[in-house]
Amino acid sequence: MALHFERSEFDARRDRLMIELAEKKLDAVLLFAQESMYWLTGYDTFGFCFFQCLVVKADGSMVLLTRSADLRQARHTSIIDNIVLWTDRDGANPAIDLRNLLNDLDLLGARIGVEYDTHGLTAYNGRRLDEQLQTFGQIADASGIVSRLRLFKSPAEIAKAEKAANLADDALDAALPLIKQGGDEALILAAMQGAVFAGGGDYPANEFIIGSGVDALLCRYKAGRRKLTKNDQLTLEWAGVFHHYHAPMMRTVLTGKASKRHQELFDAARAALLAVEKAMTPGNTFGDVFDAHARTLEAHNLTKHRLNACGYSVGARFTPSWMDMPMFYQGNPEPIAPNMTLFAHMIIMDSETETAMTLGRTYLTTESQPKPLSRHDLDLIVR
């Protein structure tokens, strides 16, 4: 099997989940998030674009319901022994197959948790699932159970995150020589992604963000490339990825020389990121971290140019996004605790002057101050 962790690691994760099921008085949980399945069993696929479900009973036994295309995938990449297939056919309703499987597992009338909040369960399939389960048992929303367990990283997971961070640094190193007047965004992007692959890394859960000129103010990937001009701005958001564990970084790199406005925005972004670092300690919450960011940018008269979140947890994620929960936003009560991997980004977009500035990196939380996982400093980069 192509497992990326020792069997004892998976056993410990299963035991943690069993404790949660017992505390919530659940007889079983239906997992639809691919990252939940990967974390619990190693199962690695993009087949979650179709209906599939990992049934985990309170006793720790597991059964995967999936399609024939993923049978060998599950056997080769996971510790799952019991795999049941639903058949592709006209008018197929795999929710019926799942209900029949639950009946075979003696779960009729049981209290069953469902992982609803995931791209692995579309609204269409969720409705079909509810139709089949409404008279089958007691159904509870169990969306946050595994995602919260994944928030706290084991030593083996931290090692994956550190490797991913090294690959993120390698990607920036590969990009910098190409960022200059006449530099082609296509070649920059190819160099960054190529560095991750060359280092043994994986595809990211979402596209790298690259945009120059006015496009530097965008926070999402878009199609289309351009070449850099003499005095230009290039916003990059990318991640090193290793065994699906992500370590994102973010920078706005300038060509030529920094304008006065660029320098003002950079000074504010750097001050805000340093304030966030001080707040990213046990005893504070995710909301406190956001407040540190917001206060700093307010002091620089940039409130209307900032976003309403400044980062999030990261780990093993699948398409369409490497963003994980919880996020740094106002009032989030989730406590900061050791052994979290968290991405903090300062994003300032001044549409009035069409000036962009970003700064971000991934941290490992500790008993005190967080540890930056990047070897790069926080200086403004002008090429």
Q: What is the rounded average pLDDT of the residues 149-169?
A: 98
pLDDT-based confidence at residue 4 (cuts at 50, 70, 90): very high
Q: What is the rounded average pLDDT of the residues 161-174?
A: 98
Asked, colleague to colleague, whether 7-150 and 152-382 share their fold, the answer is no
Residue 316 CA to residue 311 CA, distance in Å, equals 16
Residue 328 CA to residue 331 CA, distance in Å, equals 9
Where exactly are the structural domains of the chain?
A: 7-150, 152-382
The reported pLDDT for the residue numbered 124 is 97
Q: Where are the alpha helices (DSSP H) in 280-359?
A: 286-299
Residue 250: CB partners within 8 Å, gap ≥ 6? 235, 236, 237, 238, 345, 347, 358, 359, 360, 361
Provide the token pair at 103: 């009946």
Calculate the CA dihedral of residues 221, 32, 239, 17 and round it to 10 degrees. Answer: 150
Cβ atoms of residues 307 and 289 within 8 Å: no
Provide the token pair at 180: 């200059």
pLDDT-based confidence at residue 159 (cuts at 50, 70, 90): very high
Residue 197 CA to residue 240 CA, distance in Å, equals 9
**pLDDT (tens digit per residue) in 110-127:** 999 999 999 999 999 999
How many angstroms separate the first and last alpha carbons of the chain? 46
Superfamily of domain covering 152-382: Creatinase/methionine aminopeptidase superfamily (3.90.230.10)
The reported pLDDT for the residue numbered 1 is 66
Report which of 342, 331, 330 is spatially closest to residue 369, judged by C-alpha positions.
342
The reported pLDDT for the residue numbered 129 is 98
Q: What is the rounded average pLDDT of the residues 36-61?
A: 98
**pLDDT (tens digit per residue) in 237-265:** 999 999 999 999 999 999 999 999 999 99
The reported pLDDT for the residue numbered 342 is 98
**pLDDT (tens digit per residue) in 332-344:** 999 999 999 999 9
Q: What percent of the chain has pLDDT over 90?
A: 99
Q: Is a pLDDT exceeding 70 seen at residue 88? A: yes
Q: What is the rounded average pLDDT of the residues 341-365?
A: 98
Looking at the domain covering 7-150, what would its CATH class be? Answer: alpha beta
**pLDDT (tens digit per residue) in 179-228:** 999 999 999 999 999 999 999 999 999 999 999 999 999 999 999 999 99
Beta-bridge mates of residue 343: 312, 362
Provide the token pair at 244: 């699906």
Q: What is the rounded average pLDDT of the residues 167-181?
A: 98
Cβ atoms of residues 339 and 365 within 8 Å: yes
